[in-house]
Amino acid sequence: MDKFKNAGAVITGAGSGIGRQLALKLASLGASLAISDIDQDGLDQTEKLIRDLNSDAKVVATSLDVSNREAVFAYAEQTKNDLGTVNLVINNAGVALSSGTLIETSVDDFEWLMSINFSGVLYGTKAFLPILDNASWGHIVNISSLFGFIGVAEQSAYNASKFAVRGMTEALRQELELANSHISCTSVHPGGIKTSIAANARVAKELTEDDTKLREGFEAFAMTTAESAAEQILAAVLKDRRRLVLGMDAKFIDWVQRHFPNHYQKVMQWFITRALAKM
């Protein structure tokens, strides 16, 4: 992990969950950090945790809404000045919508989610690519999901956003290789990670009893901690992986959808029904 010592690292959505753990791990490895989030309180807590861990850590914390295109491009320029060199950009900020069929989900809610989970990643990637070009090495990590491989009932907006992140990142990876660039990128596909994402999800429709169970039971049901997710993401950067499928649940379901592309949807329905029965 020496590669990260003195590297300049940018993490969006660092006020909670996976983003916070990435920030803490990178700070412990001696990276200079630009952390951001739309949630100022969460961001302040992350900054404090970093300073408690390493009082010498270089950390710049900025309130940023990744769905605001002008703000993200201005932030990238500001970060270049703040850090001097930027090597690693982790487009991590993301949101969820509590269950709702496509019919029940309003176009406004669908577009709200896309503006953060997809456009936020697009802006972060586009704004930082020219800045990474000036560094001796550069890497972009875009956080997609297991739901970037499989469609799941009542997750159409989240699915659309995470499929889009995967498609864009895989295309970018090939473009960078064809151009012999010193910049690389990785698409990350977590399964269930113990974070607040489900509890903070925007509600698309009135919640049923099952929806409430899934929302409240998510952290217990998720198999992987945010700390372990952060470690695996940084290890994937070191290995220059194209794709990281994160967690046994994600690996199993990814295997199922690759081997049974026409039948995985039935397996998913069985999986969710069993999980609900156990809650």
- Which residues here bind ligand NAD, judged by CB under 6 A? 12-13, 15-19, 37-39, 42, 64-67, 92-95, 116, 143, 145, 190, 192-193, 195-197, 200, 222
Smallest distance, Å, CB 171 to ligand NAD? Answer: 19
Which of 13/138 has CB closer to ligand NAD?
13
Which of 135/204 has CB closer to ligand NAD?
204
Which of 19/100 has CB closer to ligand NAD?
19
Smallest distance, Å, CB 180 to ligand NAD? Answer: 30
Rounded Cα–Cα distance for residues 34 and 14 (Å): 9
Smallest distance, Å, CB 7 to ligand NAD? Answer: 21
Residue 264 annotated as catalytic: no
Which of 7/23 has CB closer to ligand NAD?
23
Smallest distance, Å, CB 210 to ligand NAD? Answer: 18
Active site residues: 158
